[in-house]
A and B are shown apart, each in its own frame.
Chain A
Amino acid sequence: MSIDTETEMTVRDALALALDQAMAADDRVLLMGEDLADQAGGVSGVTAGLSTKYGADRVLDTPISEAAIAGAAIGAALEGMLVVPEIMIMDFIGIAIDQIVNHAAKLRFMSGGRTTCPITVRTAVFGGLGSGATHSQSLEAWFMHIPGLKVIVPSTPRDAKGLLTAAIFDPDPCVFIETVLTYGARGLVPDDPSFSLPLGEADVKRPGKDATVVTYGRGVFDALTAADQLAGEGIDVEVLDLRTLVPLDTDKIIESVGKTKRAVVAHSATTFAGPGAEVAATIAEALFGELLAPVQRVGAAFTPIPSAQGLEAATLPSASSIADAVRRTLEGSHG
């Protein structure tokens, strides 16, 4: 008998649920990171209660040692543990990046498949909270660039739960990027403990026919707000949530933009050399003769992220800048 019911919860709760259910389902799952254990329960509370429930030897509090956290996670994963190391704030991932890039991503290939590394690096983007440039960055592009890694950026609670579950049990190393500003977003999550979503499948969050906003993470919420605004102007926007950046669901991107003929790519990483550039090039290659407008990209300004509220807001994308970009695709178009 399957469990069909759903419960409304926040993204934070959905992440906590995914971790709890994974640890209950499989003894191999091991969490490690700074301040994870009770009574801290993680800087954002995602791991609250887990060390009490599963023990301090399955929810490991570590020193401030990102290189060792990542490296130790990798070593344990080589022995078959399903390790979920946390890098508290994404800006700190530079200290761990050698292990992630040079070991986790490559050990399967370099060993000819003899050793594998099923880690899930959880990390969180703290942008939009006035924390300043070293505690605000969206660095997913760094990891998209490394063959051997999977890169996941969930938006809704349902996706957060389903994708984190999938990542934990995925045989490949995953970088799972949470966004603090979205932790409070509410939505329905299936109660079935085995609920999981396949990696590499984008999701149409809002169907539409006039333009596609391709986005992920925080951008999904902004795009949905923009879509509501634009609906009032008679513009029907499709919001395509990529969910995973690697594997990238290029089929879905091309299908959606092939239908609408207009695309805006939005993310909180910088526009310049951001993930949107890869998506835009993919769209251009596949749909060059069919597009009714050049692909628009909406991302962060090319500056370190300032702390003062107004300044910070000016550097980051918003529902408003996404809506403007959609309108630009409709200006002087031939459709």
Chain B
Amino acid sequence: MGERTPVRIPKLSLATSEAGLVEWLVADGATVTEGDALYVIETDKVETEVEAATSGVIRHGAEAGQMYPVGTEIATIEGTS
């Protein structure tokens, strides 16, 4: 059983304190590789794809279509090492 790495909403701009989780790009339970695009967030009308920091199996922890404060844990990736 590998390490569980949290996936958190990033702070992509100086003035940003929250972001909208627009959509998941990978399904719950999917295996992801470091660098894969995991989800899309929106801040100030700009959409950005957020990549995986590590590899493993992703477990969704939050719903798309909602605003979350920067730093909110929205998923975990269970490492396969």
Q: Do chains A and B touch in the complex (CB under 8 A)?
A: no
Residues of A within 8 A of B (CB): none
Residues of B within 8 A of A (CB): none
